[in-house]
Amino acid sequence: MTATAPAAPVPRSAPADRDGGRGGGGGDGEPGARRVQFAVVLMVLGAALVLSAVAGMAVGSVRVPPGEVWGIVTHALGLDRSEPAWSRARETIVLDVRAPRVLLGAVTGAGLAVVGAAMQALVRNPLAEPYLLGVSSGASLGAVAVLVFGVSLFGPLSLSAAAFAGALLTLLLVYTTARTGGRITSMRLVLSGVAFAAVLTAVMELLLLTGERGNEARAVLAWTMGGLGGVRWGTLWLPGAAVLLGVGILLVRARSLNLLLAGEESATTLGLDVARFRGRMFVLLSLVTGVLVAAAGPIGFVGLIMPHIVRLFVGGDHRRVLPTAALAGAVFLIWCDVAARTVAAPMEIPVGVLTALCGGPFFLWLLRRDGRRDDEGVA
Amino acid sequence: MTAAELVVEGVTLTAGARRLVRDVSLAARPGEVIGLVGPNGSGKSSLLRAVYRVLRPDAGHVRVDGADVRSLPVRRLARTVAAVVQEPGAGFDLSVREVVAMGRTPHKRLLDGDTAEDARLIERSLAAVDAAGLADRPFDRLSGGERQRVLIARALTQQPSLLVLDEPTNHLDVRHQLEVLDHLRALPATVLVALHDLNLAAYYCDRLYVLRDGAVTASGPPSEVLTARLLAEVYGVSAEVAVHPRTGAPQVTFLPAGAAAAVPAAPPPGASGA
């Protein structure tokens, strides 16, 4: 049986190559090795997150040296009691303008990455992601409807509530459309996602162009491209709470997400009530997506790229994928936003444009890889 | 691991207008190995699906140790009944060990971690199907036969008292077919297995149920069930059945249409002296 092992490159695990055949001894060391590697990945990403946040607060139209940013932040947190050596204006820029923006970037990046990872397990398809499946478009439409019609059923939460409803509805529609005979093919999933996104976006644009509040259209249109600008401390709590809740629940249910990878019947025989679990998860993912879209606009591809990249390092177990993807997504979006602010300064590029620039090619690569696997007759 | 009693009573399954299984009753005493045989589309997989409660019977009941499987919570049932099903599972970069570890899930509460005992069980299950060396390989890159063995290992890791298997020997080479079935025989658990290969079924099963068009046409010990007449009736083939001198189990030899017609006077294999 050793000889039947394909010569194809085995990703990430050197031990597998080392003892190729029946190496019970090598097997014992592996889980430990994996755990160490996982811890290292988490620490590296945690450090990267802190550095990225500082960089995110330093960069902009007014450049603040990173050392000073560090001083301002630690001082504000009460960790550093020394006398401030910076101007009041800089403190305001860092604390009141950039800090909430960086935090929203981190929260949004983490949330989208985690939602993407979970969605991929739930529909058992590596191409799933809130933006590609049209879920973000549904959320946008909900939010725009609230803006245009001026509905405020839930007070300040109306925007998020409508975005949540739009997201959930779209997710259910896309899922039902893509599913035939208990199976979802990549093609049907992506096509129905694209179709729904196109229709929903068209309706949204129609609303924007014909709505009474046409003068606001420009601002809203900018929002529909995804952007982190203009966030204040007062509005940050909602996305923060939604993402914390989402990550928390998903982490607790990580084992169940793993079971879904085995297939629906197998997951059932392994003790998971698949329909009920999927229903609840759809609600949770729509909630996180809706709140994030209401806060930062639809930002695509983070949920696609991050899970796939982190799986290369920590494997497919969701107990490792989710926390790693959250950290990686936070770092990624902070840097995308830094680029969005600086590349064409003084003009600001919507951050969604940048993530799409990275994500599009990545998506095509996944599509080709996926297609090859299908052709290999895994069916 | 203990053994459970399985009772299937008058189960009827339909999919839309199509009737998959008609009024099937079946019983397995604790520790028995029960074989399910029959041509393609005879309802074997559907019946098994009802046993591991993926399909809901339109009539009848499936009881494990007296409890209707539909009345038990999914997770509770998964601690008693494990299944090896015919389903493509995308691995998403899961290693073989991680796939096998799924078998521990029904025994875990939400925040439980993996214990050393889990690790031991996983290693033992992998070794039982000769897959210890595959533990660190990505599941997606295994061959069909290797995957099949890993899925059996996952079911073993579940420590079931009833093990349900749908064509577990599919994709396996001869040696692994025998090894896997040997292992299933040696388990204390009750085993319900659908098999294509009648000779394997005859040798390894205590009793057989023969399905045809969704109904049981014969049941009993292999030596009573597997007759040339039944095979002609159910499968529409000519065959000879003899008792194998070494195994003592019925041995089926299929006669291709040409051979059966062209040499009608061929002496039985025992008398040929060849």
Note the pLDDT tens digit of each residue in B121-179.
999 999 999 999 999 999 988 988 899 999 999 999 999 999 999 999 988 999 999 99
pLDDT at B193 exceeding the cut of 90: yes
Q: Which two tokens stand for residue A138?
A: 């549904």
Which pair of tokens denotes residue A282?
A: 């759809």
Q: Where do the domains of chain B lie?
A: 94-156
Is 60 exceeded by the pLDDT of residue B274? no
CB contact under 8 A, B90 and A124: yes
B220, β-bridge pairs: B208
Pairing mode of beta strands B190-194, B33-37: parallel
Domain residues of chain A, as ranges? 44-55+65-78+88-344
Q: Identify the pLDDT of residue B87.
A: 78
Of chain B, the percentage scoring pLDDT greater than 70 comes to 92
Q: Looking at beta carbons, which residues of chain B come within 8 Å of A317?
A: 94, 98
Which token pair is B199?
A: 């000779």
**Residue B167 Cα, gap to closest chain A Cα (Å):** 15
Which of B132, B137, B154 has the CB atom closest to A24's CB atom?
Answer: B132
- pLDDT surpasses 60 at B268: no
A119, A251, A266, A318, best to mutate vs chain B, most B CBs in 10 Å: A266
The stretches of A22-94 forming alpha helices (DSSP H) are 24-58, 66-76, 88-92
Min CA distance, B234 vs chain A (Å)? 29
Name the closest residue on chain A to residue B106, using Cα atoms. Answer: A271
Which chain A residues contact residue B133 at CB under 8 A?
A: 1-2, 19-24, 27
Which neighbouring-strand residues pair with B163?
A: B82, B191
Residue B10 burial (CB count, 10 A): 12
Q: Which of A16, A126, A262 has the CB atom closest to B89's CB atom? A: A262
In this prediction, residue B271 has a pLDDT band, given cuts at 50, 70 and 90, of very low
The domain defined by A44-55+65-78+88-344 carries CATH number 3.40.50.720: no
- Report pTM: 0.86
The predicted pLDDT at position A2 comes to 39
> How far is B106 from chain A, CA to nearest CA, in Å?
5
The pLDDT of residue A234: 86
pLDDT tens track for A179-231: 877 667 778 888 899 999 999 999 988 888 877 655 566 667 777 777 888 78
In this structure, what are the phi and psi dihedrals at residue B194, rounded to the nearest 5 degrees?
-90, 130
Do the Cβ atoms of A302 and A358 come closer than 8 Å? no
- Indicate yes or no: CB of B141 within 8 angstroms of CB of A273: no
B262 versus A158: the higher-pLDDT residue is A158
Nearest one of B72, B70, B75 to B60, comparing CA atoms: B70
The average confidence (pLDDT) of chain B is: 90
The alpha carbon of residue A110 is apart from the nearest alpha carbon of chain B, in Å, by 20
Instruction: Report the chain A residue with the minimal C-alpha distance to residue B123.
Output: A24
Residues in chain A with pLDDT values less than 70: 1-36, 152, 182-183, 212-219, 370-379
| pLDDT at residue number A217 | 66
Cα–Cα distance for residue pair A69/A60, rounded to 1 Å: 12
- Residue A20 has a pLDDT of 37
What are the structure tokens assigned to B219, written together?
């049941």
